[in-house]
Structure 1
Amino acid sequence: MITIKTYLLSGGKSSRMGDDKGLKSLSGKPMISYLVDTLQQLDIKPVIIAHHPNYKSFGLTVIPDKIKDKGPLGGIYTALSHARENVLIISADTPFVDSQTIEYLIRHHIADRINVLDYNGKTQPLCGLYPFRLLPEVECNLIANKLKMMDFLAENDANSIAIPFESNGFRNINTPEDLSKAEHEISNNFKTA
């Protein structure tokens, strides 16, 4: 249905979690598998940007960051370099991003611009579309160690798309406490997709 190269960012240090976030078990399965399942509903086969060898078990293409330790902007650089075209970026620590949200982003994007979602007044840079034309700009920022995503969005006139419906998709799971809360909600019939 949707033909856009999609990348799941899971190459971070996971310093607050203690282990690789995307592989942490959430209600009996790796956290990243929720996003993989959601994307499969949209006929999207994502590429995973990660360093841990266990990601290969998902049967998807797994690539490492081209430049390590540069945060999400480094992941976007890796995705754009690999795809050689516009990309959809989603962070692996947001397992509850659902198909409705992804479809809304794609349906309302403006061509050739960064398009990110806004939920309840908060910009979500790691659920967004990034144009290939910005690859040199991303590279310049990495070289200069200018890694703040919000600064990058502002400098490049990102289009912010407000979501008009309720969503639990933008809850980052960064700490063991976040994981425990998410487990509790799922066990109380929390809707994940």
Structure 2
Amino acid sequence: METIVQGLVLAGGKSSRMGTDKALLTIEGKPLVYRLAGQLLERLPAVAVSVGPPERESVYRKAMGELAGRAAFVADGYPDCGPLAGLHAGLAAAPPGYVFVIACDMPAMSPALFDQLAAHIGSGADVIHCEGQPFHALYHTRVAEAVRGALESQDYRVMGLLGRLSTVTVEPRDEAGRTTAFTNLNTPDDYRAFSKQKEEP
């Protein structure tokens, strides 16, 4: 029976629309990369952070605080190639099994949706995800070779990659879980709105 071997936080992107590194934005006083790693470690045995260029590792280690010692940090082997490069780095470094992948601009993991996705591990699919959503999803480590092929072909579309793989598509049972999982902080307005929501009683 396959298992989920770790979580993967995709960080290290250019964050051009936000204007600052999204992984370092603070929510309730903690950087997003810390917040997400902590949520993953509550349910998974290990977590990795894809840092983008190697020089970003020290920045993320500092932001992770006491969680840094429980995390692996992987640098992109294909610089400036977007989230696909971080996905490849994380999958290639992980032990065999499924990896739960979340982007650093998705500020909250949905435990309910995670459990729903994990229920399909026995399917043997390459990827278990929700329609139109490449992250907050389970990827098998064997997909690393297909991701490398896409990068070598300079095809950086994650959804394009999914179209070439064996996938299971899950329809979230819980609308609140969908909203939680697929909230994205792409712009300063997104960040302000989410922060305000977290501050409300």
Please tell me whether the aligned partners of residues 77 and 135 of structure 1 are also in contact (alpha carbons under 8 angstroms).
yes
Pairwise CA distance, 1:85: 2.0
- The one-letter code sitting in structure 2 at the alignment partner of 1:71 is G
Q: 2:181 aligns with which of 169, 173, 181?
A: 169
Q: 2:164 aligns with which of 155, 163, 171?
A: 155
How far, CA to CA, are the matches of 1:175 and 1:36 in structure 2? 22
Please tell me whether the aligned partners of residues 110 and 181 of structure 2 are also in contact (alpha carbons under 8 angstroms).
yes
Q: 2:108 aligns with which of 96, 99, 109?
A: 96
Q: Does 1:64 align with 2:75?
A: yes
How far, CA to CA, are the matches of 2:46 and 2:142 in structure 1? 23
Please tell me whether the aligned partners of residues 41 and 99 of structure 1 are also in contact (alpha carbons under 8 angstroms).
no
Spell out structure 1 runs of 4+ moving beyond 4 A: none
Q: Does 1:74 align with 2:85?
A: yes
Pairwise CA distance, 1:135: 2.3
Please tell me whether the aligned partners of residues 6 and 44 of structure 2 are also in contact (alpha carbons under 8 angstroms).
no
Please tell me whether the aligned partners of residues 74 and 90 of structure 2 are also in contact (alpha carbons under 8 angstroms).
no
Please tell me whether the aligned partners of residues 117 and 162 of structure 1 are also in contact (alpha carbons under 8 angstroms).
yes
How far, CA to CA, are the matches of 2:110 and 2:37 in structure 1? 11
Q: How does 1:34-73 map to 2 (within 5 A)?
A: 34-51=35-52, 52=56, 53-57=58-62, 58=64, 59=68, 60-73=71-84
How far, CA to CA, are the matches of 1:7 and 1:176 in structure 2? 24
How far, CA to CA, are the matches of 1:94 and 1:56 in structure 2? 19
Please tell me whether the aligned partners of residues 38 and 99 of structure 1 are also in contact (alpha carbons under 8 angstroms).
no
Pairwise CA distance, 1:136: 2.2
User: TM-score, normalized by length of structure 1?
Assistant: 0.87
Percent identical among aligned pairs is 26
SS in 2 for 1:155: coil
Q: How does 1:122-133 map to 2 (within 5 A)?
A: 123-133=132-142
**Bigger helix fraction:** 2
How far, CA to CA, are the matches of 1:103 and 1:8 in structure 2? 18
Residue 114 (structure 1) aligns with: 127
SS in 2 for 1:81: helix
Gaps of 5+ in 1: none
Q: C-alpha root-mean-square deviation of aligned residues, in Å?
A: 1.8
SS in 2 for 1:19: coil
Gaps of 5+ in 2: none
Number of aligned pairs? 184
